Amino acid sequence: MKTNPKYIVFDGMDGSGKGTQMKLLQETFGDSVVFTREPGGTPFAEEIRTLALDNPLAGKSTPLNNFLLFMAAREELQQNLVVPALRSGKHVFSDRGDSSTYAFQLHGEEHEELLDVFTCTRELVFAEGNGRRQPDRYIVFDLPAHVARERALRDPRRVQNRFDLRNLNYYERVQTGFRKFAQHYPVVFVDAMQSREDVHRSVKEILAKEFAA
């Protein structure tokens, strides 16, 4: 049991190598950390994930509705996984988080008019005082947009959801989204052009500092 458990989000463009790094982190930290993902992580949130990512009807709905699906999954994850895990003294490492909503829905999809609703719903989901809190740190895997896209398209394990196969401009907007997010929230970028071992080493150094804080 940790006296000061941390809530860390890992994020990046599709093709950033995030999946590989999450696997390495699982091997390194094992059961001492609760690993989860967004959207998803609890049975109900996984249902929302299927709706948001795989159901073609979601693509025909409104930008606000799609945004709310990601937030709804996040609200569920907070209440039923993040808060209990932190309370039990475990660190929580999440594969994606609200940084993705900011980068993909507001910037990739070009709906910056959702900024106010983002700020407001984010505050509610992470409202302190009932055991919730915002992530202590966002670790974002960063690399040129065209490299991320090429890697994503080449990855045979990638299950193609309706967010894959976007054009280069989309990837560039998502990257801009992560950069803008970092102006407001505690983000550390990791150079994802390094070898997987060096990326992993960089992540462990960031985490060591975070755990010591």
Q: What residue ranges bind ligand TYD (CB under 6 A)?
A: 14, 19, 37-39, 53, 70, 95-96, 100-101, 104-105, 158-159, 161, 163
Over the Cα atoms of the chain, what is R_g? 16
Q: Alpha-carbon distance 119 to 69, whole Å?
A: 15
- If the CB atoms of residues 132 and 211 are measured against ligand TYD, the closer one turns out to be 132
Q: Peptide bond before 39: cis, by omega within 30 degrees of 0?
A: yes
- If the CB atoms of residues 110 and 205 are measured against ligand TYD, the closer one turns out to be 110
Place of tokens 């966002």: 138
Residue 141: count other Cβ atoms within 10 Å of its Cβ.
26
- If the CB atoms of residues 46 and 211 are measured against ligand TYD, the closer one turns out to be 46
Q: Alpha-carbon distance 31 to 34, whole Å?
A: 7
Residue 35: count other Cβ atoms within 10 Å of its Cβ.
19
Q: Please state the closest distance from residue 200 (CB atom) to ligand TYD, in A.
A: 18
Q: Please state the closest distance from residue 157 (CB atom) to ligand TYD, in A.
A: 8
Q: Alpha-carbon distance 205 to 79, whole Å?
A: 30
- If the CB atoms of residues 14 and 76 are measured against ligand TYD, the closer one turns out to be 14
Q: Please state the closest distance from residue 17 (CB atom) to ligand TYD, in A.
A: 11
Q: Please state the closest distance from residue 3 (CB atom) to ligand TYD, in A.
A: 29
